[in-house]
Amino acid sequence: MSWLYIHFPDVIEQDWIGDEDAPFAVVDPATDTVIHVSPAAEHAGVEVDMSVGMASYLCADLQLCPFQPERYQATLLQRALWAYQFSSQVCMDQSSPQPSRQGLWLNMDGMLRLFHGVQGYCQAIKQACQQQQWQVSIAAAHTPLAARHLALNPVPWHCSDVSNETSMATFAEQRLRQLAISEFDLDETVQTTLRQLGIKTLDQLLRLPMSEIHHRICPQLALTIKRLLGQVVHPLDSVEMPDHYQHSTHFISEIESREGLLFPLKRLLGGLCGYLQHRQFTTQQLRLTLSHRNIADSEWVIQIAYPEHRLSEWTDICRYQLERHTLPAPVQTLTLSVEQLLPLDSQQLNCFDGIFDEADIDHSINTQPDTQQKEALINRLQARMDAQQLQRLTTTGDPRPEYAQQSLFAEQAPADQPQKIKRLCSQRPLWLISQPQPCSVPTDILSGPERIDGGWWDQQSVRRDYYIVRSQGRVQWMFRTDTGDWFVHGYFS
Amino acid sequence: MPNQGGAMSLELQQVLQTGQVWQAQQHQATSQVSISSGYQQLDNQLPAAGWQPGQLCEIYHRGLGAGELSVVLPALAQLSQRSKWVLWVAPPAMPYAPALEAAGVNIQRVLVVHPKSHQEALWCLEEGLKSGHCSAVLGWLYEWQKAPIRRLQLAAQSSAAYCWLWPQLEMDNSGSPAALRLSIERDTPWTIKAQFHKRRGSWPSDHFTVPLTTRDLSAPVRASTPKSTVVNPITQRQVG
């Protein structure tokens, strides 16, 4: 068995988010008929292929969502990208014009050993779909077409009932042979011909010689049967992974507050971070596009200083950053897009960094697994504050005290300073005030003077005599200029 | 315990065994994690003989220059060697990097935050403590309420971070959720007088002095000249 088909009956809902108990239906705008109903609408009596007028009459508060092919494609593509965690080859099935009969093919070659056989593989996929709260129908077979038909016509037996692969294969074949011809999406003329010949099931069709089917009924039908039986290879195009990420959710009832956006945003972030993890990417910028009914789309850009790929961090950063924006109007659609995908640096994932660091060994109470990711704190603080409110320090070696240190933005790492000759004599205060304060002549001088003379190179020359002074119970760093004025420049704390 | 009579000491023994009596010697538990404050006199007064992670310490002082930062400086120097941040929230002035370097603090780990409001300052402190990316968090508070202090104490405990706060107000005598409360004032230029008003696991202490520096600040400042070395060309020995 090398092919698996996944059928998602709910993809047609196209990521509409609304109240789960409210009845809603997806409508084909061309024909104004209902093509999909939610359970609540079904309970009220709305059925597939009913007209919109009739459906609205039966259920007064029915929400109607138009079917949009490009949105449907986008949703199916998202599912295909999600399915790449289970297989190296994922193909989208768009052979049927009806959207409710489309799905994904997964090639199982090479994956069965990892998942302990076909049973384990199907089980893993079903569990993953349950976590995402998707309905699925899965079937495995030797050929893609066989898997597709088995998935679209599920039987209660499913994969878990049958003991081993060979008996599963025989059962699958028996089941296929019993399928009616109408299930095979054939042309009207071909179906009429087969009906006139009295052929109703695949089993009856297979008794006819293949050359006769090719010449007298339809060559395409012969090719389909050969592909179904595995006599001819069925070529399929894999889904290509895009270089960017984009996903939208649409709201049945518009969202009017920032807090209401958090839950759908968290779902989008979950999809994004899963994608980043699967492809080993990280990113520094998210773009949120909010579509409104009457005004132009708003765009919120969330930019962080250090690349991040973890869901917990992105969720908190987005929550803090959302507080800085205001909603101009109720939101109908929320789109998350990431244009810049950066490769995940393997150094960031070094799991031994925190364990063998000698100084951290006595952190036995709470060991963080990613101590080397301390830059994440800067991302979180900057999510709520301006960039210039966070600073790092570096020394410059300038003799003038006010230029001896420099404040850097949090993103700039201070360069490693070469080993400086320690000036054993100089005592420097722990606090330096930015503007020296004039003061009176001190009476209790503890040490000094220390002359600091320099700054001729940038026309900011200073010549001061510094003293360590005690006054009012505090130890201060004062200086006297050439003119005899005294100023306080720092405090020894 | 001296044996003062058979029946009485037996009752006392039973009460001790059931843990209904607290004994002062219990607070000198040596198995607790702590780092030395760098000052022997301060270590003697601290429970666990040093600063402990997850135990918030409030330091009260009057004005800058009272020695309130020097008491934690040796511990900061040690903590800054780890691969985590030393976060400074709302300091009253800019910490002077050459002085920090001279004290042994690795300034590459120093991150200074200037919040715009008290609420923002509390948020930064809590974020820094909860994140687990900070080995030490230092905060200067211009307002004081018990509930935020309790939250900070719990956050520090949850991530085992060292945390010191300098409330710029008079001490509220009704008590504090912080584990330690220390008040400091300068005694002589090179010693400070300190008192613990609260110590978790012990009772408040009396005044004690802590010499801050081994070197006398009143010594004359002189640039050090390198020792001249004369190499005897014949014997190749250094003559200093």
| Residue A416, SS3 per DSSP | coil
- In order, the DSSP letters of A136-147 are -EEEEESSHHHH
Across A182-202, average pLDDT: 82
Interface membership of A394 toward B (CB under 8 Å): yes
Contacts of A399 in chain B (CB under 8 A): none
In degrees, rounded to 5, the angle at the alpha carbon of residue A441 between the alpha carbons of residues A440 and A446 is 125
pTM for the full predicted model? 0.74
d(CA A144, CA A95): 12
**CA-CA distance, A370 to B5, in Å (whole number)?**
60
Question: Which amino acid would we find at residue A452?
Answer: I
B181 has a pLDDT exceeding 60: yes
Region of poorest pLDDT, from A14-28, A77-91, A290-304? A14-28
pLDDT of A415 > 90? The answer is no
8 A C-beta contact, residue B156 and residue B52? no
Q: Tokens for A36? A: 């999909």
Query: B221 and A368: CB-CB below 8 Å?
Result: no
Radius of gyration of chain A (CA): 35
Give pLDDT tens digits for B84-143. Answer: 999 999 999 889 988 898 888 988 899 999 999 999 999 999 999 998 899 999 999 999
**Nearest CA of chain B to the CA of A407: how many Å?**
9
pLDDT, residue B163, reads 94
Q: Which range (A208-222, A477-491, B129-143) has the least confidence?
A: A208-222
Question: Helix A375-384 crosses helix A311-322 at what angle (to 10 degrees)?
Answer: 20
Which pLDDT belongs to residue A365? 40
Q: How confident is the model at residue A42, as a pLDDT?
A: 84
Spatial neighbors of A50 by CB under 8 A, at least 6 apart, are: A33, A34, A58
pLDDT tier at A318, thresholds 50, 70, 90: very high
pLDDT at A322 over 80: yes
Q: pLDDT band for position B22 (50/70/90)?
A: low
Q: Which chain A residue is nearest to residue B186, measuring alpha carbons?
A: A473
pLDDT tens per residue, range B191-229: 889 999 988 878 888 888 888 865 444 444 333 333 334
**Nearest chain A CA: its distance from B75 CA (Å):** 13
Q: Name which of A51, A50, A57, A69 is nearest A12 in CA terms.
A: A69
- The DSSP 8-state label assigned to residue A36 in this structure reads E
Evaluate if residue A156 carries a pLDDT over 70.
no
> Which of A407, A430, A477 to mutate to test binding with chain B, by most B CBs within 10 Å of its CB?
A430
- Classify B42 as helix, strand or coil: helix
Nearest-5° Cα angle at A15, A9 to A20: 85
Determine which of A87-91, A94-98, A275-279, A322-326 has the lowest per-residue pLDDT on average.
Answer: A94-98
Query: Mean pLDDT across chain B, nearest whole number?
Result: 80
C-alpha span between A2 and A16 (Å, rounded): 34
Q: Are the C-beta atoms of A265 and A30 separated by less than 8 Å?
A: no
Q: Which residue has the higher pLDDT, A292 or A374?
A: A292
Other CB atoms within a 10 A radius of the CB of residue B108 amount to: 17
Name every chain B residue with its beta carbon within 8 A of the beta carbon of A362: 33
Task: Determine what percent of chain B is predicted with pLDDT higher than 70.
Answer: 78
- What mean pLDDT comes out for the span A463-467? 90
Helix residue spans in A385-454 (DSSP H) = none
Residue B23's pLDDT is what? 66
Q: What's the pLDDT band for A336 if we cut at 50, 70, 90?
A: very high
Cis geometry, peptide bond prior to residue A449 (ω within 30 degrees of 0) = yes
Average pLDDT over residues B175-179: 88
ipTM comes to 0.75
